[in-house]
Structure 1
Amino acid sequence: KEAVRGRERLGPGGGRALLGAVLLCVWWRAAAERVRYTIAEELGRGSLVGPLARDLGLSADELPARKLRLSEEKQYFTVNEENGNLYVNERLDREEMCGESATCSVSFEVLVHNPLNVFNVEVAIEDVNDNSPTFSKSVLDLDIDESIPPGSRFPLEIAHDADAGRNSLLIYQLTNDPSFTLAVTENPDGSKQPELVLERALDREKQNSFELVLMAVDGGDPARSGTVQVRINVTDANDNPPVFSKKVYEARVAENLPAGSLVLEVRATDADTGSNGRVSYAFGSIPESIRIFHLDADKGAVSLLRSLDFEEGTSYEMDVQAHDGGGLSDTAKVVVTVTDVNDNAPVLTVSSALSEISEDAPSGTVVALLHAQDQDSGANGEVRCSLDKDVPFRLEKSYEDYYRVVTARELDREQVSEYNVTVRAADGGSPALQSSALLCLRVLDVNDNAPVFAEERYSARVAENNAAGALVLTVRATDADWGQNARVRYRLGEGRVRGAPLSSYVSVQAETGALYALRSLDYEQVRELRLWVLAEDGGAPALSSNVSVEVQIVDENDNAPQVLYPAPAAALGSGSGGAWSGVELAPRWSEPGALVAKVVAVDADAGQNAWLSYELAKATEPGLFRVGLHSGEVRTARSPLARDAARQSLVVVVKDHGRPALSATATLSVVLAESVAELLAELSSAADEAAAPGEPAGSLTRWLVLAVAAVSCLFLAFLLLLLALRLRRWHRQQLLPPASGALRGVPVSHFVGIDGVRAFLQSYSHDVSLTADSRKSQLRFSKILNVRLLNLRRKCNTSS
């Protein structure tokens, strides 16, 4: 409407020029992030102020995402979210908003999101001539002494017009009267003071009163006016008016001065006496808005009716009139300047704030936008904002009184999952006043932590022959993240055991980390399992870690002892199954304790389950032989007697120390003979008994002759070898110091270790053993004992 009125006043060309100037101004302000509009007052609700979105450089397509809105809670204006235009939200009254100020404008901030930005908008309110000049009274009574000479002036009440500029008071007019004219003077503050001028001397006897009309006219188009009736009473002569000591009285008071306090005193004197010299004081015409002062009519003391407020007004000007009893008066001006006191704490407003932020948000991410303001002035109105020192945020000043809270470093939800950030605002007063605002911010989780196992490595012991599906152990890993990122699943690492996949031996439960054996384990095949278990979280991408798991297989007594010597009967062609047999020679002249034979056995188990003990279970002649409990050596318990049978059968039981114990048996055939010929005769007899009927005797004799020759050669070689061994032992004893202890002089080669058990072995007293076959008689010559023991040691090592 105002733009239309402007075009009507300026004409077509002037309207276009005005419109161009306004558009240029708006464009320049928008470029500087400050938009300015000018509208007339009294516009109704919904009136268009301007295309705010377009002036901010926003298109209609961007409006839904950018969320254009005003920052102030109580607004004179509103913005349309669909087209971005700025409209009047309520009727604007310039006089109510800005009082008597020459200029009137409303400033506010506009917030734009995504990205977050703030713009300053200023709307200038142009005055409309909607207020007429008014007088505080409808009738002005003046008492004028008849002795007052022509040319005397009488100040009249000043009319007040709430409008500004050219719409304010312009001229005064007085009805025509030959006795009085109107004169208008200009006060120091620029206001116009109407004065009644006496044109000719008064004569109370001719006319004792006058009634005039004073009219005040403003400069609006159309003009508005106000009138007051001036009633003049002519009194007796009073030729000395009151006179103020000053034309202007000034005082500076603090805004916290309590009600009733004295501000200043005015003083006027009158040279007359009596009632004409008695002076009384009164305020002139003052607006209702500044009637907060009281003037003592007798003393001229100006005091406060209520406390002042610097934020409401910084200075007050009032006219004080002094009247004497004769109707004469004088006028002076009182100027009260209000000084600011720090009585307003800063106001901290959170314009926009996040409630959640990801822990991987980069440094400098905007968390909140705050507005800090203080109604005080000067240092009392200077606001400084600060944050707690132990939070990963900092303050940045973005625009005038706006501050941004941004992240100062990367966040870690695992250390702090939620922040309560206190923003404090303090002014520059003494003492300073403070206010604060609380920002609550929750940190969202990011998968930045891999699962961590409870132990650096895991180990377990499982007895062999376990049931398939038996629980071995449970691994456990935790993830410092939250939700799906902290959900841990387990899987088995790749590997092979004895050529088979590791997954065929064990499996891991994905949810619990329980490790199960998929098959029955055999200590003799696999003594330990070394594997890796991987823990993987549910993040995207997933993070993982692994841990080493060692499963020790515990031996059980599931293997019976195995007899290595004497040789198995099956190897000799016998079908005896679990029995062991052999033929040994024992001279009849043997002394008690002479070594006859040695039963050598091993056990595939380990530890206690492989500790072996030997017992003589059965003998042809009880008491003749005994067996070493741990060595397996068969020795004579007494010297053989002539009545003892030549052939002795011994059954030796070998037991381990498992629970329950397992055992094996070995059968030894011992021939008691005085010489080799007797031994051969005994063997021949046994062979004859075992030979098949009808076999020729010449064949047997031929074999016996060959056997005797072979034994003789072997005996000679044995003697040579024994001599060489004796010389070697003597040479070694010369080089090495003699050993101490119970086993001094025993060669180291006589000890054989089988799974922690050391068996003491001793050389045989003879080197020849003979066995009889069920079908034919033959001689089998044993090897030298040292060679036999070496082979036995290798076989034991291979078995273990």
Structure 2
Amino acid sequence: MCAAGRCWGRRQRSLLWVMLLAAWEAAWGQLRYSVPEEMPKGSFVGDVAKDLGLQLSALSDRGFRLIERGRTQGRTQYFSLQGKSGRLVTAERIDREQLCERVQQCVLRCELIVEGEMKFYEIEVEITDINDNAPRFREAEIELKMSEMTDPGARFPLPDAHDGDWGRNSLQSYELSGDEHFSLAVQTGPGGDQRPELVLAKALDREEAAFHELVLRAMDGGDPARTGTARIRVKVLDANDNAPVFSQAEYTVRVPEDVPVGSVLVTVTAADADEGVNGQVKYSFKKITEKAAQIFQLESDTGAISLLQSLDFEGDHSYELEVQAHDGGGLFDTAQLTIIVTDVNDNAPEVTVSSALTEISEDAPTGTVVAIFSIWTLNDRDSGANGEVRCSLDGTLPFRLQSSHGSYYRVVTARELDREQVSEYNVTVRAADGGSPALQSSAVLALRVLDVNDNAPVFAEERYSARLAENNAAGALVLTVRATDADWGQNARVRYRLSEGRVRGAPLSSYVSVQAETGALYALRSLDYEQVRELRLWVRAEDGGAPALSSNVSVLLLVVDENDNAPQVLYPPPALAPRWSEAGALVAKVVAVDADAGQNAWLSYELAKATEPGLFRVGLHSGEVRTARSPLARDAARHSLVVVVKDHGRPALSATATLQVVLAESVAELLAELGSAADEAAAPGEPAVSLTRWLVLAVAAVSCLFVAFLLLLLALRLRRWRRQQLLPPDSGALRGVPVSHFVGIDGVRAFLQSYSHDVSLTADSIMGSVLNLAVSEEGRREKVAVGRLVVRSEVWVLIIFQLFFPYVTCAV
């Protein structure tokens, strides 16, 4: 019972260790399988998906790659992974002796890369040996020569057999059959190898038998066992008492692996004291592997060993050979030859990227994995410093190498990326060994940076301004604003729109519009300089990102004045001039205004027609009518003057004013001329009573008009005061515009001052004062309107008053 309990306890402990080992391998993502060699293609190795706990959908949807360590381009891939079942199967028939010559444990390593998860797993597959090779002798026929003087017990080395299998399946024993004169002895070499020797058991007699036929059999330990045979023919010679002797028992030579083919590596020499045939020494290989026999050649007469094909340090570091020297009498000597191959830096590191990205967003955080590769893919098959590999990245790129778990390396981002500065990267991973000169190789990772909407549109100018002539056609192109976005694709698509605003109480969108795609700004209506001098607006540029980014720019649209308003004559009343006036005396003043601005509103006056040429002249810029000479007695009492008023526009616009001038010697004559003018104006045959009634009505009308004017002026003043209390100071759209742009105020004031000086009428003085009061405040729209109204009212009052003043006086 105790023994059974102890046995059960050992089983539990063994099971526990197996479970711990499986958990350890699963934690590190490593699997190990075992499969015998020479399995047919497609043979099952292991269920990788089940052992790693992977879902079959993850392998099929996310993709995977199976990479065998140390496998370079052109070498055979021995395993494949079935994506549908997740099983690891053989991709080719595997020959253990070809893969792992002289290696006790043959293990193939591969890596499973799951692309979508950026994970990797290590898989080891041990190739176990089967007894598929029989022992074999390099020569099937062996001829030995022995002197009949050879003493019994003499030993003669025999060529040993070679078995490519390993362990129990390799060569185990030798057997000799065929003759009683000989026996077999097997010696164990320093490396544990068996060396057969032929032992002379009974003295030879050439006369009795000149030849002896023997069979040497080599057997391995397989089940069933395999054997190989060699036939030995022993020729009995006459006495030869001196055997060849090598100059040294062991030869050692160091040869670089890049020595040219055909070069003599070493020459062995042996001397024989005999003469004749017994003293002629021939050389041959006694012990040499099949691979070495294809590389080295021994000249039988000279003992020179030359190279048949190139050496490869990475294949074999050294070769151990036995050279035999024998004379014509059958005596021989052996020497040990060791050829050591020294490494030359003839293998560049091999760079193979296991997994890599092709696209990365520019807002990817620092440390984002771009590519994965392992140090096995950088395996340099040289030795020492020649096989030490250093990895680096070319250039000053925003990436760096990072050592990962085990032998893996990762290429990660070292800082934030900016697509607007660099949109594509070619990341060169370079591997260099420590040789002199160093050999290196590289792999290029092509990486495209994806755009993120991190740049707002930028206008080409800080602010825009344009000039547009008034009276433009509706839909006229004003200017084009242009904004660019440093992003790409939809994030760089810019659209334009107007910011909300109002002009003279109307929406800004009723005046101008902007084309969303091109940024072209159009005028939707015909603009009038006399109403709108300028338009200030904001244009917004917005990209197509999510969320969208935008920027604004100020646009100033200046309306340019055109000469579209002709001068308007405000004050051409009948004029009175005494006959005793001197040359240059002021007779009257023509007052005109132009609604345009600038030179389009600059007015000039010309006398186009006069009843008496040369008697009167008109000031070019003032419009004052003055006497050119003193009136003469022969000059008519009444004169008609036609004055042309022109502006300075292109083309110039003009207006005409007809002025009646009355000349008189005295006040009585002046009143008489006015009375006659009134009589001419009255209808013929009308009674005096009717005329008087009309004069009284005219006086009453003038008085009422004057009172109404005063009330209107007061109402306007009150209205302006009220608006100043309710609105901010700068609320007027046309504030700050000089009244002289609309009305010839300076000319009106000058005329009224001169006229009030020459005509001593109380009513006229009062009207002039009111007019001066209204005109004195310039710069606001209400004052402009008041000025116009005052001028026009005063003109009409003075005209009526002058026409009817004589009749009013007579009536009184």
What is the alpha-carbon distance in structure 1 between the residues aligned to residue 507 and residue 665 of structure 2? Answer: 64
The DSSP-based 3-state class of the residue aligned with 1:639 is coil
What is the alpha-carbon distance in structure 2 between the residues aligned to residue 705 and residue 296 of structure 1? Answer: 158
- Residue 475 of structure 1, aligned match among 470, 481, 484: 481
The 10-residue stretch of structure 1 (685-694 or 16-25) with the greater mean CA deviation from structure 2: 16-25
The 10-residue stretch of structure 1 (14-23 or 670-679) with the greater mean CA deviation from structure 2: 14-23
Q: Tell me what 1:656 maps to.
A: 647
The DSSP-based 3-state class of the residue aligned with 2:324 is strand
Which whole-Å deviations, capped at 9, do the CAs of 1:642-666 have from their partners, x for residues lacking one?
Answer: 5556565555443322344334455
Q: Contact 2:593 / 2:742 at 8 angstroms: preserved in 1?
A: no
1:764 and 2:754 correspond? yes
What is the alpha-carbon distance in structure 1 between the residues aligned to residue 231 and residue 692 of structure 2? Answer: 184
Q: How does 1:420-431 map to 2 (within 5 A)?
A: 420-431=426-437
Q: Contact 2:56 / 2:83 at 8 angstroms: preserved in 1?
A: no
Change (3 A) 1:15 1:160: farther
Q: Contact 1:33 / 1:120 at 8 angstroms: preserved in 2?
A: yes
What is the alpha-carbon distance in structure 2 between the residues aligned to residue 628 and residue 377 of structure 1? Answer: 114
Which whole-Å deviations, capped at 9, do the CAs of 1:689-729 have from their partners, x for residues lacking one?
Answer: 778736389989999999xxxxxxxxxxxxxxxxxxxxxxx
Q: How does 1:273-284 map to 2 (within 5 A)?
A: 274-284=276-286
1:503 and 2:494 correspond? no
What is the alpha-carbon distance in structure 2 between the residues aligned to residue 261 and residue 55 of structure 1? Answer: 54
1:543 and 2:549 correspond? yes
Q: What TM-score do the two structures reach when normalised by structure 2?
A: 0.79
Q: Tell me what 1:41 maps to.
A: 37
Change (3 A) 1:689 1:76: same
Q: How does 1:387-398 map to 2 (within 5 A)?
A: 387-398=393-404
1:632 and 2:623 correspond? yes
**For residue 527 of structure 1, what is the amino acid of its counterpart?**
R
What is the alpha-carbon distance in structure 1 between the residues aligned to residue 609 and residue 319 of structure 2? Answer: 138
1:783 and 2:766 correspond? yes
Q: Tell me what 1:295 maps to.
A: 298
Change (3 A) 1:132 1:683: same
The 10-residue stretch of structure 1 (216-225 or 174-183) with the greater mean CA deviation from structure 2: 174-183
Q: Contact 1:52 / 1:85 at 8 angstroms: preserved in 2?
A: yes
Q: Tell me what 1:712 maps to.
A: none
Q: Tell me what 1:161 maps to.
A: 163
The DSSP-based 3-state class of the residue aligned with 1:327 is coil
- Residue 459 of structure 2, aligned match among 446, 453, 460: 453
What is the alpha-carbon distance in structure 1 between the residues aligned to residue 288 and residue 18 of structure 2? Answer: 38
The DSSP-based 3-state class of the residue aligned with 1:62 is helix
Q: How does 1:403-422 map to 2 (within 5 A)?
A: 403-422=409-428
Change (3 A) 1:358 1:167: same
Q: How does 1:208-607 map to 2 (within 5 A)?
A: 208-244=210-246, 246-270=248-272, 274-291=276-293, 292-369=295-372, 371-398=377-404, 403-564=409-570, 566=571, 580-581=572-573, 584-607=575-598
The DSSP-based 3-state class of the residue aligned with 1:349 is coil
RMSD: 3.8
Which whole-Å deviations, capped at 9, do the CAs of 1:328-377 have from their partners, x for residues lacking one?
Answer: 33333222111111122233334444444444444444444454332322
Q: Contact 1:346 / 1:435 at 8 angstroms: preserved in 2?
A: yes
Q: Contact 1:651 / 1:665 at 8 angstroms: preserved in 2?
A: yes
- Residue 64 of structure 1, aligned match among 60, 63, 76: 60
Change (3 A) 1:697 1:444: closer
C-alpha displacement at 1:399, in angstroms?
A: 6.6
The 10-residue stretch of structure 1 (681-690 or 50-59) with the greater mean CA deviation from structure 2: 681-690
Change (3 A) 1:211 1:22: farther
Change (3 A) 1:28 1:177: farther
The DSSP-based 3-state class of the residue aligned with 2:105 is coil
Q: Contact 2:580 / 2:665 at 8 angstroms: preserved in 1?
A: yes
The DSSP-based 3-state class of the residue aligned with 1:494 is coil
Change (3 A) 1:76 1:756: farther
Change (3 A) 1:42 1:781: same
Q: Contact 1:70 / 1:79 at 8 angstroms: preserved in 2?
A: yes
The DSSP-based 3-state class of the residue aligned with 1:609 is helix
What is the alpha-carbon distance in structure 2 between the residues aligned to residue 441 and residue 200 of structure 1? Answer: 84
What is the alpha-carbon distance in structure 2 between the residues aligned to residue 268 and residue 30 of structure 1? Answer: 63
Q: Tell me what 1:6 maps to.
A: none
Change (3 A) 1:256 1:781: closer
Q: Contact 1:607 / 1:755 at 8 angstroms: preserved in 2?
A: no
**For residue 689 of structure 2, what is the amino acid of its counterpart?**
E
Q: How does 1:186-205 map to 2 (within 5 A)?
A: 186-205=188-207
What is the alpha-carbon distance in structure 2 between the residues aligned to residue 306 and residue 71 of structure 1? Answer: 32
**For residue 309 of structure 2, what is the amino acid of its counterpart?**
R
Which whole-Å deviations, capped at 9, do the CAs of 1:461-481 have from their partners, x for residues lacking one?
Answer: 222112212222223333344
Q: Contact 1:752 / 1:759 at 8 angstroms: preserved in 2?
A: no
**For residue 298 of structure 2, what is the amino acid of its counterpart?**
L
The 10-residue stretch of structure 1 (200-209 or 462-471) with the greater mean CA deviation from structure 2: 200-209
Change (3 A) 1:395 1:201: same
C-alpha displacement at 1:492, in angstroms?
A: 2.0
What is the alpha-carbon distance in structure 1 between the residues aligned to residue 379 and residue 577 of structure 2? Answer: 122
Change (3 A) 1:705 1:99: closer
**For residue 228 of structure 1, what is the amino acid of its counterpart?**
A
Q: What TM-score do the two structures reach when normalised by structure 1?
A: 0.80
C-alpha displacement at 1:523, in angstroms?
A: 0.7
The DSSP-based 3-state class of the residue aligned with 1:385 is strand
**For residue 49 of structure 1, what is the amino acid of its counterpart?**
V
The DSSP-based 3-state class of the residue aligned with 1:65 is helix
Change (3 A) 1:133 1:643: same
What is the alpha-carbon distance in structure 2 between the residues aligned to residue 699 and residue 350 of structure 1? Answer: 120
Which whole-Å deviations, capped at 9, do the CAs of 1:573-602 have from their partners, x for residues lacking one?
Answer: xxxxxxx53x55433432221223323322
1:31 and 2:30 correspond? no
Give the gaps of 5 or more residues in structure 1: 1-11, 567-579, 707-750, 772-778
What is the alpha-carbon distance in structure 2 between the residues aligned to residue 700 and residue 242 of structure 1? Answer: 175
C-alpha displacement at 1:487, in angstroms?
A: 3.1
**For residue 44 of structure 2, what is the amino acid of its counterpart?**
L
Q: Contact 2:118 / 2:355 at 8 angstroms: preserved in 1?
A: no
The DSSP-based 3-state class of the residue aligned with 1:92 is coil
The 10-residue stretch of structure 1 (125-134 or 541-550) with the greater mean CA deviation from structure 2: 541-550
What is the alpha-carbon distance in structure 1 between the residues aligned to residue 153 and residue 483 of structure 2? Answer: 110
- Residue 609 of structure 1, aligned match among 586, 600, 615: 600
C-alpha displacement at 1:531, in angstroms?
A: 1.6
- Residue 144 of structure 2, aligned match among 142, 166, 172: 142
Which is richer in helix?
A: 2
The DSSP-based 3-state class of the residue aligned with 1:379 is helix
Q: Tell me what 1:721 maps to.
A: none
Q: Aligned pairs, how many?
A: 723
The DSSP-based 3-state class of the residue aligned with 1:465 is coil
What is the alpha-carbon distance in structure 2 between the residues aligned to residue 752 and residue 470 of structure 1? Answer: 30
What is the alpha-carbon distance in structure 2 between the residues aligned to residue 13 and residue 288 of structure 1? Answer: 52
The 10-residue stretch of structure 1 (506-515 or 789-798) with the greater mean CA deviation from structure 2: 789-798
The 10-residue stretch of structure 1 (479-488 or 285-294) with the greater mean CA deviation from structure 2: 479-488
**For residue 310 of structure 1, what is the amino acid of its counterpart?**
F
The DSSP-based 3-state class of the residue aligned with 1:231 is strand
**For residue 764 of structure 2, what is the amino acid of its counterpart?**
F
Q: Contact 2:37 / 2:96 at 8 angstroms: preserved in 1?
A: yes
Which whole-Å deviations, capped at 9, do the CAs of 1:130-181 have from their partners, x for residues lacking one?
Answer: 1111122333333333332222222222111111112111122233865433
What is the alpha-carbon distance in structure 2 between the residues aligned to residue 642 and residue 705 of structure 1? Answer: 34
What is the alpha-carbon distance in structure 2 between the residues aligned to residue 785 and residue 678 of structure 1? Answer: 27
The percent identity for this pair of structures is 65
The 10-residue stretch of structure 1 (544-553 or 352-361) with the greater mean CA deviation from structure 2: 352-361
C-alpha displacement at 1:400, in angstroms?
A: 7.0
Which whole-Å deviations, capped at 9, do the CAs of 1:273-330 have from their partners, x for residues lacking one?
Answer: 5544543321124222111212233443322223311122111112222323332333
